[in-house]
Homo-oligomer: A and B are copies of this chain.
Amino acid sequence: MGYELDAGVELSDIGDGAFGADLGAGWKVGGGLNGGYLLAVLGNAVRERLPEKPDVLAISAHYLSATVAGAATVSTRVVRDGGRIGTVAAELDQEGDTRITALVSCGDLASASGEVVTTAEMPTMPSVEDCLPGSLAPEELRRASPLLDRVDIRLDPAHAEWVLGKPSGRGVIQGWFRLADGREPDPLSLLLTVDAFPPVTFDLGLGGWAPTVALSVHLRAVPAPGWLQVRVSTRNVAGGMFEEDAEVWDETGRLVAQSRQLALLPRD
């Protein structure tokens, strides 16, 4: 029996660097499929092209239009493969339109130097049991966003006052994350994790779906099994857009992923 994410990123090789995908409706959130899930689909296609560099080190995706459930094609082109890092251009097309265009630089995280110098501090948050599970989300929201059933997110109540209609204005949401079916984290699943939390604009009192313009993710280490801790923050809302940073730590306290996106403010 396989895991949902592994089934969700499955591809069939259709030649010339292109792959067919059947994108699952279970990864829908608001108006389209989750942008992080789609990064994992792209990452999986790239891995087929550069099997000796199995891990995404840096992926930069620009989102052109909402991707929906169903058939899609991922086209890939190896731009350069040499030394420790290879770079692939990948595009996801659906119904004749390019939905996402991305650049992916890959390598082997397991073989990387083990030395770590960090001033990044893990967020402090209550235990998993003392955080708010997504299963408390309103029935209507859960129906529109089946992604909420694929992921097990536990929100730190100190950063979830927006749930009660009292956004803090700080622009920070944090909590625990794991895949609902028990699949352990790996570099591929981290691509989903960085974009799976509620939009950080909820903590600014701005509801609604915030379409991503561009999202870049750095994977910094292979995550240990277990829960992940995620902190999502924004510092600047301007010109109808905001940036959203996510950081992901594993159970050993290691910073395993950093992401930044530019998104459009929700329109009422």
Contacts and interface: CB of A to CB of B under 8 A. Distances in A.
Interface of A: 57-58, 60, 62, 64-65, 79-80, 85, 87, 89, 91, 97-98, 101-103, 105, 109, 112-120, 170-171, 204, 213-214, 216, 218, 220-221, 235-241, 243, 254-255, 258, 260, 262
A91 B80 CA distance: 12
A85 B258 CA distance: 25
Contacts of A220: 236, 238-239, 241, 243
Given A115-B237, A214-B218, 7 more contacts: A79-B98, A80-B97, A103-B103, A105-B262, A113-B239, A119-B236, A243-B258
B214 A60 contact: yes
Contacts of A237: 115-118
Nearest to A255: B236
A218 B214 CA distance: 9
A237 to B, nearest CB: 4
- Of all A-B residue pairs in the complex, the 3 with the closest CB atoms, nearest first, are A60-B60, A112-B239, A58-B214
A235 B64 contact: no
B239 A109 contact: yes
A101 B60 CA distance: 11
Given A79-B101, A89-B89, A214-B216, A238 B116 contact: yes
B218 A170 contact: no
Nearest to A108: B239
A254 B235 CA distance: 12
A62 B119 contact: no
A117 B239 contact: no
A57 B62 CA distance: 11
Contact of A79 (B64, B240, B254, B258): B64
A265 to B, nearest CB: 8
B213 A118 contact: no
B120 A235 contact: yes
A211 to B, nearest CB: 10
